[in-house]
Structure 1
């Protein structure tokens, strides 16, 4: 279960890396605007906010991947702590998105599903 949880955590990190690309690098492109349902004017007006938010997603992914590497190469306790910090923050952000913008439920579920599964698997692996 631990290994499965770490694998799902890496998948969550990859997804958040992709979100970083969309928010920080391609925010005003037609494809990214379509994903987020934005007009060109809305995308331009929110470009700097999205740029900053994208880096939050990148950093959560980095913390998670670093934790997975540490967990797999030696210090399991430190690695798991970092993984939980990363995926826990991803899940918390998804909950905040859902609570603050219920119309974005699909995005919140997309953002939070992998972190939730990773947490469940890691906890179950630690208990069983």
Structure 2
């Protein structure tokens, strides 16, 4: 179960790196505007500064989980699992905030929150035995 948790955390980290890319680098692109429903380039430009900052939050969560995965595989199980729990748990919490604050974005919340939630559960179960 630990390996499943680490793989799920890795998938969640990759998703959050992609979200970082969309929010901080490609915010006004056709792809980002289509995914986030920001409308025209002008409308997206008005939100660009906020999206840029938010993208870095997603990147830092991905880095936290990624470093945790690496440390765990190097035998630093306590530090590694702690970072995976922090990164994945924060991703899960952020998806719940999105779901509660904007129920119409349930699909987006699921896309960003299911993998890290399953990672937390699998890692917790794996470490319990």
Q: Which residue of 1 aligns with 2:112?
A: 111
Paired residues for 1:59-74 under 5 Å: 59-74=60-75
Where do 4+ consecutive residues of structure 1 move more than 3 Å? none
CA RMSD of aligned residues (A): 0.7
Partner of 1:35: 35
Match of 1:75 in 2: 76
Partner of 1:92: 93
In 1, Cα distance between equivalents of 2:63 and 2:74:
16
* Cα offset, 1:4, TM superposition: 1.0
Q: Deviations over 1:96-127 (max 9, x none)?
A: 00011111111001010000110111011122
Structure 1: 5+ residue stretches without partners? none
TM-score, normalising length from structure 1? Answer: 0.97
Distance, in Å, in 1 between the alignment partners of 2:62 and 2:127 is: 22
- In the alignment, the residues of structure 1 paired with residue 128 and residue 65 of structure 2 have an alpha-carbon distance, to the nearest angstrom, of 21
Per-residue deviation at 1:42?
A: 2.2
Unpaired stretches in structure 2, ≥5 consecutive residues: none
Mapped partners of 2:127, 2:75: distance in 1? 16
3-state SS, counterpart of residue 38 of structure 2: coil
